[in-house]
Structure 1
């Protein structure tokens, strides 16, 4: 591969990633993160559109081709809702997305109110008090938040009410030069990846043979909803989705069930009914030709990603999935390897460069 076209994460890109990951983007309330993403990508696209629920689309070549290709990630992170306030001023919660109740005890939280952010913690009884034969474990019916209020009235005076959303405040850091660590890497790292692909296309002056729609979708964590809406609006011919997938090299994961995937070994190319063979094999051939290492993963009936939403929308969309290995999904210490991030950006960039509709005939065969 020509080294001048090889992607490497710059200091400017790291500053964007840091700001983007540290913003709050819970499902249904993605606006803060979307504004940061939109401001960054605006320099690398010709047009930006935001739909009713907050999905942001940057477009390159909007009028130069009848063919439309989407590269997509989802912008929302898991969170909690205030569900019940006791008379003693303690707060019980409900999930917003796949929040893990087992990691909650002793975590700091922020509750988002009209009066501003309210700090709190997930409390948990001290070990000295848990003497029963059957030790209590964290469950949705027993985890609770303490904001230091004396009673329910004081909670309400702080602006907290049923329906306020709750997020973790843990921030981005780089571990040992190799790993990016943060909450919400699922899937803001995907938003970073597609923004960097758009940046490469513009900086390298690539003349695409199609309209490219760079899509940062909302509400994936609760049913792929943003992708469903935007697919009907854009009506793309191809969708290349990027999301995270499990690093299965860590303890307590069965590789016979979850596959054999490891951080640092490259992007993961998916196999599933919603993934079209033609575009998948084109991506694999591109990876081999450009000497970009990759891994393979079978998702059986469905991928659980926005790929499924695009594939079966409209009259069908030629869809594929390129994932990035992630450790500790849906925790506050999600981890991805820097080399995997760079390789997936390179792979999507090279794939887009190589697509020529008059040659490949993706829409005729």
Structure 2
């Protein structure tokens, strides 16, 4: 389709390579805002860093398209007298992948480098040959004492991210850490760009929301939903590709990278809104897949749907391999199709549409 241009892909590189852990998203939010600014009329931010670009800010009917900006990470939790650092999770970080990873510890003095150490396979005995857990993973900064660690600016509460960079895999996939869900922030920014470049005059206010703190409970979306009070919210996040080994399609569904956006059914999803999105996809010949959620979707959709007096909400997901690792992988074609679907939905949406089931 060629929706993503060179400028957009350069922005994606910068945005994904920048660390923006939950609670510390501001640097990534600034990169995002700088990119989206030419395509919006105004913007605002809230106390915790959620950033909102607005088109037609004076329009009474308000439509949100939303992604979340934060990535999982770690906190320094304890420093031994020998200078080793033990951690706790900031979001759903996976202890299994930590050993042998390089890390960046973010301090007031800048980045301090470290590694998650792990004993060699041939020296581990029955006592210490255990799976990685918060009780046994540790970071080595090359220091020999707690005082030397602290002299570098590292303290309890310092936030830690993996040192991994974005790459393109086999020319067909975007791969790296934090695609969950900064790839969503990229996609909604690209929707704004298309609206501007195609000179679309929307008959409603569009709020392009990059929310913080999703990874620890949808907190940023909760706050901003109450501030905006939208009439409609279309959320984009990632979901699991279930084709690679070790996934159970019976419990996790049959979803695949390369087969298009995933549309979710569930209590938080407003069915009339979902039907309009499906109709748009079918009319524009955009392939899509279907998923179901038994209770909550586990995404910011839930925060918007149940805010205020209830907001008509829907979820458009991007299939992703290897969630919450440093090699999260998505199809470039799927990314373009999510952008296209959100864009086509917006340009066909009439002002003041009433999505209620009974009127």
Interval of TM-score (by shorter of Structure 1 and Structure 2): over 0.9
- Among candidates 56, 61, 65, match of residue 67 of structure 1: 61
**1:327-350 CA distances to partner (integer Å, 9 max, x unpaired)?**
000000000000000000000000
Given candidates 117, 121, 126, the residue that maps to 1:123 is 117
Instruction: Give SS of 1:242's match.
Output: strand
Asked whether 1:362 is paired with 2:355, we answer yes
1:333 to 315, 327, 331: 327
Hey, what does 1:20 align to over in structure 2? 15
SS in 1 for 2:275: helix
Residue number among 38, 42, 55 corresponding to 1:43 in the alignment? 38
**Equivalent-residue separation in structure 2 for 1:29 and 1:131 (angstroms):** 39
Q: Is the 8 A contact 1:239 1:310 kept in 2?
A: yes
The structural deviation recorded for 1:357 is 3.2
Q: What root-mean-square deviation, in Å, do the aligned CA atoms of Structure 1 and Structure 2 show?
A: 1.2
* TM-superposition CA deviations, 1:228-255 (whole Å, max 9, x none): 0000000000000000000000111111
**1:185 is the counterpart of 2:188:** no
The Cα shift of 1:7 comes to: 5.3
| Cα deviation code 1:180-214 (max 9, x no counterpart) | 00100000000000000011011111111210000
1-structure distance, mates of 2:15, 2:75? 22
1:205 and 2:209 aligned: no
TM-score (norm 1): 0.96
Query: Displacement of 1:156 after TM fit?
Result: 0.8
Query: 1:147 & 1:361 partners in 2: Cα distance?
Result: 58
Distance 1:296 1:118 in 2: 44
**Equivalent residues, number:** 358
Aligned residues of 2:165 and 2:177 also touching (Cα < 8 A)? yes
**Who is 2:50 aligned against?**
55
Matches of 1:52 and 1:131, distance apart in 2: 50
For 1:1-365, list aligned pairs within 5 A: 8-63=3-58, 65-132=59-126, 135-357=129-351, 360-362=353-355, 365=359
Which aligned runs of 4 or more in structure 1 are off by greater than 6 angstroms? none
Tell me if the contact between 2:101 and 2:163 (Cα under 8 Å) persists in the aligned partners: no
- Structure 2 distance, partners of 1:362, 1:212, is 17
Secondary structure (helix, strand or coil) at the match of 1:352 reads: helix
Q: How many angstroms apart in 2 are the aligned matches of 1:77 and 1:245?
A: 15
The answer to which of 34-43 and 129-138 deviates more is 129-138
Asked if the contact 1:84/1:93 (under 8 Å) is kept, the reply is yes
Superposition deviation, residue 115 in structure 1: 1.1
User: Given the two structures, how large is their TM-score scaled by the length of structure 2?
Assistant: 0.98
Q: Is the 8 A contact 1:7 1:346 kept in 2?
A: no
The answer for unaligned runs of 5 or more in structure 1 is 1-5
Give 1:97 shift. 0.3
Task: Could you tell me which runs of 5 or more consecutive residues in structure 2 were left unpaired when the two chains were aligned.
Answer: none
Query: Relative to structure 1, is the Cα distance of residues 133 and 159 closer, same or farther in structure 2, using a 3 angstrom cutoff?
Result: closer
Q: Any idea what the Cα deviations from partners look like across 1:89-138, whole Å, max 9, x if unmatched?
A: 00000000000000000000010111111000000000011132883110
DSSP 3-state at the match of 2:215: helix
| Cα distance in 2 between the residues matched to 1:8 and 1:350 | 13
